[in-house]
Amino acid sequence: MNEKVNLEKCTCCSHHHCRLSDGRFNKWLDDTTVHGVKHVLKGKSPCRRIFWTMIFFISVVGCMYEIVDRFIFFFGNPTSTTISLEYGRNGVPFPAVTVCNLNP
């Protein structure tokens, strides 16, 4: 694990940041299962990159909306319990019982 990381100083501050051209980042882009990220950053044309950026952004926003909605629903402690007993004139019929004496 003696890989050298390409670092360059940021133009707006003195911090070091990994460049997007770092070999590990490109390998991650090739191997990732996060759909759309590779197309956003390595798309063949600007139109495709814009399209995939919009699709990725819409997907992330939709996912976040659903997560927040489920948390609100969960912490709202919704409880719905309905018990209904209905008997006919003759009451509840006794179920058929079968006794099997085949012991293994």
Percent of the chain with pLDDT over 90: 15
Distance (Å, whole) CA 41 – CA 22: 13
Note the pTM of the prediction, 2 decimals: 0.49
Q: Average pLDDT of 24-52? A: 78
Contacts with 38 (C-beta within 8 Å, 6 or more apart), sequence order:
29, 30, 32
Percent of the chain with pLDDT over 70: 78
Whether 4 has a pLDDT exceeding 70, the answer reads no
Distance (Å, whole) CA 21 – CA 7: 10
Instruction: Using DSSP, state whether 40 is helix, strand or coil.
Output: helix
Question: Minimal CA–CA distance to 4: which of 22, 25, 30?
Answer: 22
Whether 65 has a pLDDT exceeding 50, the answer reads yes
Whether 88 has a pLDDT exceeding 90, the answer reads no
